[in-house]
Amino acid sequence: MAEQTPQDAVPQAEPPADIVPIASGKRKAEEQLTKEMVEQHQQQQQQTEQSAAPSSEQQPTEQTTTTATTDNAQELQVQQQQQQHQDDDGDKAKSQPADGTTPTATNEDGTPKLSKNQLKRLRKQAAHEQFQAERKEKRKEKRHQQQAKKRALKEAVAAEAIAAGEDPEEAVKKLYREPWVAHPVPVAFIIDCDFEEYMRDNEIVSLSSQIVRSYSQNRRAKYQAQLVISSWKGKLKDRFVRVLNNAHLNWKGGVKCVEGDFMQAAEIAKRMMEEVDVKEGMIDLIKPSGNGGLLLPEPEVEETVEGEESGDAVKAPKPKPEEEAEDVNQSIVYLSAESDYTLDKLEANTCYVIGGLVDRNREKGLCYGRAKAAKVRTAKLPIGEYMAMQSRYVLTTNQVVEIMAKWLECGDWGEAFLTVIPKRKGGTLKAESSCGTPAADNGENDEEENGAEKVNSEATATEVANQTTEQAQDVQMSG
């Protein structure tokens, strides 16, 4: 029997059926490599035997080593076969990472490509850093203006005291000794927060900030409306509890948070307006006028338009405004841009519902549909009647609250809009208002100026040129 060589001792593993057969030249190279590995191991084993004493356990060790060497050679051969299979697959196998993950797209210089959202965030960050110094300078200028206003007030009070023969220093001291006194009025603002399913997490955060500002602005207003937050649950409530440390529990005055919908909140608001101290706060401005405080739609008339082909004037019927149902609830007014009615004035014992929805204008008509289903009145703020807007504008929830609170103070919508809407938005009064100071342009609400519903409807190009009661573009509000 012929002597068995190390090459013959190594079993040849058959390649799997799904692997492409290896060329004969490559197979010979693999066999030669395996033979060299076995011979090298044998040499190392002989050197170990010579340096160590003979042992009865030497034979099992040699068998184990030989088996391990055989397994290594077999594994090496299978790996080489698989490598050959990958080479045949072409560029697809070359581009696949070793860990099996999806390859990352890169630019020509090897840097990873950025998505559109990532690029947008980087641009916003760069713009924020670029104008940071400018914003700081604006805040400094605003502080100086406030200080100058205080000095002017002191000088005016001192001058009046001198004219009346009184001590000017005592008059100035009395100016700051007078405590702030709340003046509640029988009007309710309801913020409907039952839109969580339509908002992302960051939009719910924005809504929570708007609610806090709504409370703050109504609290320090000259006349305080009764404020009720409806649908107080879900992520919004959880944020106030966990992140804001239950700040709403310290709110003072006529404010409540209820878990029910805006209809249940309206019932609670009505009981709040019936309290003695609130009923005594009746002012002439909110006394009933007979039409519920709403401007009724104009009667149906015919409009004159030019024909597309002949250019002749053609009579076209104006869309007929939708009339209110007979069983509509007169004590609740839901603010919505889709309404054909315009809010003329705030009236006593009436609840004005503001949709607490921050959705970047994805959803349309939610508030109007909800109001129709609940059979309550609807109305839109009269921005188009008083303001000429140079661009599309969005009102946040707290801005709507502030506008109505300002109207309770002066009874002038033009003054209210001019005070609340920042001047950087390009809004100007269409007529002279009785009073007013333009709103400060401090940029605080830039991030949150997105709401759910439009406050006014679109204006045509002719109406924009003539500065009619419709505004140039959609002016929107939160809800």
- Residues annotated as catalytic are 359
CB 349 within 8 A of CB 388: no
- Which helix (H) or strand (E) covers residue 67, if one does? helix 58-89
What does the DSSP 8-state code read for residue 321? Answer: P
Q: Could you please report the per-residue DSSP string of 339-358?
A: -S-EE----TTEEEEEE---
Alpha carbon distances (Å) from 460 to 236, 338, 463:
39, 16, 5
Q: Could you please report the per-residue DSSP string of 68-108?
A: HHHHHHHHHHHHHHHHHHHHHHTHHHHHS-TT-PPPPPB-T
CA 207 to chain centre: 8
Among 292, 479, 341, 460, CA closest to 403: 479
Dist CA 299 CA 209 (whole Å): 41
CB 283 within 8 A of CB 368: no
What are 34's two structure tokens? 């395996």
Among 342, 339, 357, 348, CA closest to 191: 357
What are 387's two structure tokens? 């303001």
Q: Which residues does residue 395 pair with via DSSP β-bridges, in sequence order? A: 477
Alpha carbon distances (Å) from 468 to 42, 429, 472:
102, 12, 9
